[in-house]
Amino acid sequence: MDNNHDFQLPEKDEFLLYLKVQNYSLETLYNYEHDLKQFEVFMTEMGFGKIDKQVINEFKGYLVSRDRKQPITGLTAPNKLGPGSVNRCLSCLRTYFKYLIEMDKPVPLPPDAIKMVKADKKHGQVAELSELVKLIESPTSLEKNELVGLRNRAMLEVLLASGMRISELVSLNKNQIDETGRIFIKGKGRKERFVYLTPRALSWVNQYLTRRPEAVPALWVPYRGSRAGKSIRRVSPNYLQAKIKEYREKLRINVPTSAHSLRHGFATYLAESGANPAAIQVLLGHESLDTTTRYVHASDKFAEETHHKYHPVK
């Protein structure tokens, strides 16, 4: 008999409905539901009837152990969870406990009593600025179709100029860009913000729009494949990611580069030029400055130059 559903978190369905009303994305809702289910399965398998600090510590060990059953599929996971995934589960519990407090419901532990696990600080590599510039300029020389090359270059110019996410880029409509290059977007978690184009990027967007015959609202439209010719159509994120990979390989840029790398490069090189981290936080649409400071680390080259320039004992 399957007893995996014996332990039930109180107010769980109400909590998930609350998140939905707060305009959390479907992916986030799924993750919260999945993580809470994992905790319920753990409590059932271990036979715990109440939640305390020791239970939370054992849950951490449970998450990183092998032979861990997936609550949705019932299958066994061959690999342990990394610190980031463990912290996501713990953060979910914290948010759930905060909801119980807000609703004046009994709470087994203060949310802050759930401590995150230590994670190695890993900073993704970003290509040299000169290489990123070569990458965004490459479509006009590498694409055989002139209009495709113009469109793809404009897309990459916008990514590096604004630091927006690829999902935000492909969902843009023409009327979201004003004559100065300011763009009003709804980002991750439906958060609204302005991003800004450089004069160079705006020039490429205008060149593309001047050459583009279509009158559809979408800014970036496909010219081949199943999406072409439809009244409601957009370039897909997968297409652009594949093109970036193709351009990188043809240019022999050895640092792995993606649409996210252009966002990373935007933040890194703004920081290296002296931009205020709080301003970068706003431009990136980060809720926490901690996220930004982890994300916009200085490059090794910049750190070396800073050391040579400012070290007091030369």
Residues 103 and 134 in one domain: no
Out of 3-17, 86-100, 106-120, 280-294, the most confident range is 86-100
Tell me whether residue 6 is in a domain: no
Tell me whether residue 288 is in a domain: yes
User: What is the average pLDDT across 139-164?
Assistant: 95
Tell me whether residue 224 is in a domain: yes
Residues 173 and 264 in one domain: yes
Tell me whether residue 306 is in a domain: yes
Query: What is the rounded average pLDDT for all residues in the chain?
Result: 82
Residues 142 and 199 in one domain: yes
Residues 99 and 43 in one domain: yes
What HEC string does 73-118 produce? CCCEECCCCCHHHHHHHHHHHHHHHHHHHHCCCCCCCCHHHCCCCC
CATH of the domain at 22: 1.10.150
pLDDT for position 153: 97
pLDDT for position 80: 63
Residues 151 and 239 in one domain: yes
Tell me whether residue 148 is in a domain: yes
Q: What is the dihedral of CA 84, 87, 89, 90, to 10 degrees?
A: 180
pLDDT in tens, 29-81: 888 999 999 999 999 988 888 899 999 999 988 887 745 444 444 444 445 67
Residues 28 and 142 in one domain: no
Residue 244 lies in domain: 129-310
CA-CA distance, 145 to 38, in Å (whole number)? 50
The one-letter amino acid code at 39 reads: F
pLDDT in tens, 244-253: 999 999 999 9
Residues 296 and 226 in one domain: yes
pLDDT for position 3: 47
Angle formed by the axes of helices 26-46 and 12-21, to 10°?
170
218 and 234 in contact (C-beta within 8 Å)? Answer: yes
Task: Give the confidence band of 205 by pLDDT, cuts at 50, 70, 90.
Answer: very high
Tell me whether residue 77 is in a domain: yes
CA-CA distance, 281 to 283, in Å (whole number)? 6
- The residues annotated as belonging to the active site are 165, 188, 260, 263, 286, 295
57, 86, 113 - which closes a domain? 113
pLDDT for position 84: 77
Tell me whether residue 251 is in a domain: yes
pLDDT for position 5: 52
Residues 149 and 248 in one domain: yes
pLDDT for position 25: 73
55, 83, 113 - which closes a domain? 113
pLDDT for position 1: 36
Residues 84 and 150 in one domain: no
CA-CA distance, 264 to 260, in Å (whole number)? 6
Task: Give the confidence band of 120 by pLDDT, cuts at 50, 70, 90.
Answer: low
In 3D space, the residue among 110, 109, 61 whose CA is nearest the CA of residue 89 turns out to be 61
CA-CA distance, 134 to 174, in Å (whole number)? 26
CATH of the domain at 286: 1.10.443.10
Residues 239 and 154 in one domain: yes
258 and 264 in contact (C-beta within 8 Å)? Answer: no
CA-CA distance, 39 to 34, in Å (whole number)? 9
pLDDT for position 82: 77
Residues 66 and 177 in one domain: no
113, 145, 172 - which closes a domain? 113
Residues 143 and 109 in one domain: no
User: What is the average pLDDT across 269-283?
Assistant: 82
Tell me whether residue 199 is in a domain: yes
Query: pTM value?
Result: 0.60
How far is C-alpha 301 from the geometric centre of its chain's CA atoms? 26
Domain count, the chain: 2
